[in-house]
C-alpha cells in the first residue's frame, strides 16, 4: 500500500502540534478555533479560548481555541468588529458581542456528544433539537421533545449489548457495514524509512508496529527482545521516539511538506525528510498486535487488548486507567470535538466509549478493503468545519476509508482513497501528526503520506495543523 500526501492540509486537525515551521504554524492559528465538549455538556479542558493573539479571551480559558477580541489575531479584525451588541452564528457556535465590539461570550450548540444535531440558527441562537429528530447518545436512542420548555431530548430506548443505535431506523439494530470499495481519491507517499536487517546501527529506524505522532516526534511501539520478528506479544515492550525534520532539498528557499510530482496543487520533487532516533521509553503499553499508542507532549495513551485505555506519564512513569470497559480493541483514536474515545478491531468493527454507561458502544462496521483483516485507525478533525473524521485501513489493503457521523444519516463513508505505488507494503500501525501526514508502520518500514483532501472534503482547504492539546482527561 502507499501512504500519500495532501494537496493542501489547512484546517484538518489531529489535536496536536506537528510543525517546526513557525510561519506555517502561525498561518494555521489564524483559522483555528476548537469547540470541544464533554458528556455533560460543559466545555472540555482545552476547548475554550486560549487567550492567544491580541484580542480578549473572554470566551473561555482552555487551550484549544483562539481568543477573539476587537483586534483579533495579530492585529486582524476580530469577529465582533462592526457588530457591537450583536449575536450571530459561526458554524455551530453562537458568538455574543459586547457593546465595545469584542467577544463577550461564546456558546457551543453541539454539546451532546458524538453526532449531536444541535446547531446554531441565525436569529434564534442554539437550537437543541427540532420536531421529529432522533439522536444516539451512546446506547440510548433519543427523540426531540418539543413540548418541553426548553425543548429537550427524551429517552426512547436503550440498546442491548452488541446492538447499535440507528437514527435512520429509529431503533436498535445489529451494527451495519458502511461504505463500499469504490475509490474516490488517492494518496501520495512522502517518506519511507526502512530497517536494515542485521545492521540496525546503519539505519535509524529500529522497526516496530503501532505508531503515534505529536509535534515533530514520531513514536513507534516495539518488542525489545527477540529480534524484529520476535514472539510479538512477549514483554518487555518499548516505545521508540524519533524526531522528523523537513529539508529544503529542492533549494527554492521554502519548506514544502506536500510537494509531490503527482500533486496538482503542489507539483515538484518530494523534499527530503531526516529521521533522528531520540530515546526508547521502556514501558508496557499493550501487546504488539492489539495495542495502539496516542502520544501528547507529556504523556501517552494506549489501548489494551481487552478494551482498556491507559495513560502513561513520561516524567513519572506512572500508568493509570482512563477508560475501562471489556471489549476487543486494537486501534485507538480520540474525537477531540466530542471528547470521545473511538476504537477499532481486526474484525472491522468500530466502537465509541460512552462515559455515562462506562461501555464501548458499537458504531459501525467497515467493508472488506481487500485486506486480510482490519488494521490501523485514526481520528482527524477538519479544522475548518470542526468535523471529526475516522480513517480506517486493512492490514494488506490498498485502501483507506474516511468516515464521519451525520446527524440525520448516522455513520457514512465520506471517501475511499487508494494507495499508489506501494503494493508490497501493509499496515501494522497508523498515526497522524508530524508534517501533517499519516505515519504507517509495517514492522520493518515506516512511511508517511496524506490524501488529496481538496477533492475529498467538498473543496475545503485542509492545511497545516494548530497546536492545542486534545481535550483528553488529565
Residue range 451-464, pLDDT digits in tens = 865 333 333 333 33
Whole-angstrom Cα distance, residue 384 to residue 296? 22
Answer whether residue 39 shows pLDDT above 60: no
Distance CA 38, CA 44 (A): 5
| Residue 282 pLDDT | 82
Report CA-CA distances (Å) from 392 to 18, 303, 316, 410: 21, 16, 33, 17
Mean pLDDT score, 406-410: 88
**Which of 58-67, 184-193, 429-438 is predicted with the least confidence, judged by mean pLDDT?**
58-67
Q: Lowest-confidence range among 16-20, 226-230, 372-376, 436-440?
A: 16-20
Percent share of the chain, pLDDT over 90: 34
pTM: 0.76
Q: What is the mean pLDDT of residues 228-245?
A: 77
Lowest pLDDT segment from 114-118, 131-135, 174-178, 339-343: 114-118
Q: Which residue has the higher pLDDT, 397 or 346?
A: 346
pLDDT, average across residues 225-235: 62
pLDDT reported for residue 55: 26
d(C-alpha 210, C-alpha 301), whole Å: 12
Which structural domains are found in the chain, ordered by start?
43-110 (no CATH), 185-456 (2.120.10)
pLDDT at 402 over 90: yes
Residue 176 pLDDT greater than 60, yes or no: yes
Contact 64, 74 (CB under 8 A): no
- Which pLDDT does position 12 carry in this prediction? 35
pLDDT given at position 76: 57
What pLDDT, on a 0 to 100 scale, did the predictor assign at position 232? 57
Most confident of 64-68, 71-75, 285-289, 298-302: 298-302
CA-nearest of 229, 201, 205 to 218 is: 205
pLDDT of residue 85: 92
Q: Which of 8-12, 309-313, 339-343 has the lowest mean pLDDT?
A: 8-12
Most confident of 58-67, 277-286, 371-380: 371-380
Length of the chain: 474
CB contact set of 73 (below 8 Å; sequence gap of 6+)? 29, 30, 52, 53, 54, 55, 66, 67
Residue 214: HSE in the Cβ half-sphere, 13 Å Cα cutoff: 16
| Region of poorest pLDDT, from 118-127, 221-230, 249-258, 410-419 | 221-230
Average pLDDT for residues 365-393, to the nearest whole number?
A: 86
Where is mean pLDDT largest: 246-250, 320-324, 461-465? 246-250
**Separation of alpha carbons 255 and 61, rounded Å:** 33
Instruction: Provide CB contacts within 8 A for 344, sequence distance 6+.
Output: 329, 330, 331, 333, 350, 351, 374, 377, 392
Q: Does 202 score more than 80 pLDDT?
A: no
In this prediction, residue 324 carries a pLDDT of 77
pLDDT band at residue 111 under the 50/70/90 scheme: low
What is residue 231's predicted lDDT score, i.e. its pLDDT?
52
107-116, 177-186, 225-234: the lowest-pLDDT one: 225-234
Give residue 223's pLDDT. 80
Mean pLDDT of the chain: 75
pLDDT attached to residue 473? 39
pLDDT at residue 201 in the model: 56
Residue 243 CA to chain centroid, in angstroms?
Answer: 20
Give the integer Cα–Cα distance in Å for 270 and 332: 30
If one compares 243 and 372, the residue with the highest pLDDT of the two is: 243
* pLDDT bucket at 423, cuts 50 / 70 / 90: low
Exposure string of 103-123, with b = 16+ CB inside 10 Å and e = fewer, is bbebbbbbbbbbbbbbbbeee
According to the model, what pLDDT value does residue 340 have? 86
**Segment 73-81 mean pLDDT:** 69
Q: What local confidence, expressed as pLDDT, does residue 362 receive?
A: 94
The confidence score (pLDDT) of residue 471 equals 42
Query: Does the structure show a pLDDT above 50 at 19?
Result: no
In the predicted structure, residue 249 carries a pLDDT above the cut 60: yes
Lowest mean pLDDT among 23-37, 246-260, 380-394: 23-37
Question: Which residues, at least 6 apart from 397, have a Cβ–Cβ distance to it below 8 Å?
Answer: 1, 369, 370, 371, 419, 426, 427
Q: Is the pLDDT of residue 31 over 80?
A: no
Amino acid at each position: 500500500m502507499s501512504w500519500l500526501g495532501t494537496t493542501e492540509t489547512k484546517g484538518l486537525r489531529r489535536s496536536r502540534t506537528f510543525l517546526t515551521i513557525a510561519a506555517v504554524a502561525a498561518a494555521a492559528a489564524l483559522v483555528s478555533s476548537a469547540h470541544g465538549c464533554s458528556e455533560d455538556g460543559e466545555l472540555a479542558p482545552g476547548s475554550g479560548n486560549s487567550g492567544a493573539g491580541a484580542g480578549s479571551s473572554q470566551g473561555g480559558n482552555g487551550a484549544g481555541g483562539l481568543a477573539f477580541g476587537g483586534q483579533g489575531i495579530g492585529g486582524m479584525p476580530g469577529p465582533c468588529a462592526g457588530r457591537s451588541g450583536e449575536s450571530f452564528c459561526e458554524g455551530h457556535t453562537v458568538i455574543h458581542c459586547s457593546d465595545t465590539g469584542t467577544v463577550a461570550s461564546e456558546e457551543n450548540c453541539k454539546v451532546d456528544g458524538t453526532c449531536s444535531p444541535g446547531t446554531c440558527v441565525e436569529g434564534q441562537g442554539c437550537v437543541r433539537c427540532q420536531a421529529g429528530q432522533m439522536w444516539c447518545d451512546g446506547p440510548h436512542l433519543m427523540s426531540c421533545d418539543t413540548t418541553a420548555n426548553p425543548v429537550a431530548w427524551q429517552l426512547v430506548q436503550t440498546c442491548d449489548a452488541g446492538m447499535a443505535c440507528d437514527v435512520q431506523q429509529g431503533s436498535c439494530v445489529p451494527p451495519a457495514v458502511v461504505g463500499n470499495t469504490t475509490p474516490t481519491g488517492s494518496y501520495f507517499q512522502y517518506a519511507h524509512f526502512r530497517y536494515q536487517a542485521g545492521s540496525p546501527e546503519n539505519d535509524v529506524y529500529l522497526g516496530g508496529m503501532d505508531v503515534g505522532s505529536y509535534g515533530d516526534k514520531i513514536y513507534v511501539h516495539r518488542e525489545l527482545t527477540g529480534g524484529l520478528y520476535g514472539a510479538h506479544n512477549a514483554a518487555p515492550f518499548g516505545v521508540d521516539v524519533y524526531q522528523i525534520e523537513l529539508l529544503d532539498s529542492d533549494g527554492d528557499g521554502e519548506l514544502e511538506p506536500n510537494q509531490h510530482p503527482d500533486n496538482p496543487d503542489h507539483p515538484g520533487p518530494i523534499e527530503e525528510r531526516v529521521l533522528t532516533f531520540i530515546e526508547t521509553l521502556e514501558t508496557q503499553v499493550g501487546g504488539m498486535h492489539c495495542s495502539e499508542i496516542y502520544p501528547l507532549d507529556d504523556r501517552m495513551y494506549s489501548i489494551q487488548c481487552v478494551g482498556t485505555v491507559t495513560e502513561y506519564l513520561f516524567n513519572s512513569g506512572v500508568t493509570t486507567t482512563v477508560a475501562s470497559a471489556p471489549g476487543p480493541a486494537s486501534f485507538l483514536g480520540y474525537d477531540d470535538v466530542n471528547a470521545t474515545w473511538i476504537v477499532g478491531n481486526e474484525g472491522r468493527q468500530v466502537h465509541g466509549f460512552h462515559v455515562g454507561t462506562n461501555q464501548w458502544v458499537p458504531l459501525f462496521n467497515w467493508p472488506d478493503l481487500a485486506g486480510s483483516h482490519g488494521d490501523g485507525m485514526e481520528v482527524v478533525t477538519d479544522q475548518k468545519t470542526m468535523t471529526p473524521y475516522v480513517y480506517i485501513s486493512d492490514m494488506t489493503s490498498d485502501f483507506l476509508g474516511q468516515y464521519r457521523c451525520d446527524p440525520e444519516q448516522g455513520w457514512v463513508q465520506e471517501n475511499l482513497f487508494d494507495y499508489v505505488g506501494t503494493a508490497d507494503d501493509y499496515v501494522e500501525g497508523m498515526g497522524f501528526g508530524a508534517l501533517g501526514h499519516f505515519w504507517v508502520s509495517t514492522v520493518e518500514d515506516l512511511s508517511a503520506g496524506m490524501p488529496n483532501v481538496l477533492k475529498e472534503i467538498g473543496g475545503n482547504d485542509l492545511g497545516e495543523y494548530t497546536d492545542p492539546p486534545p481535550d483528553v482527561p488529565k
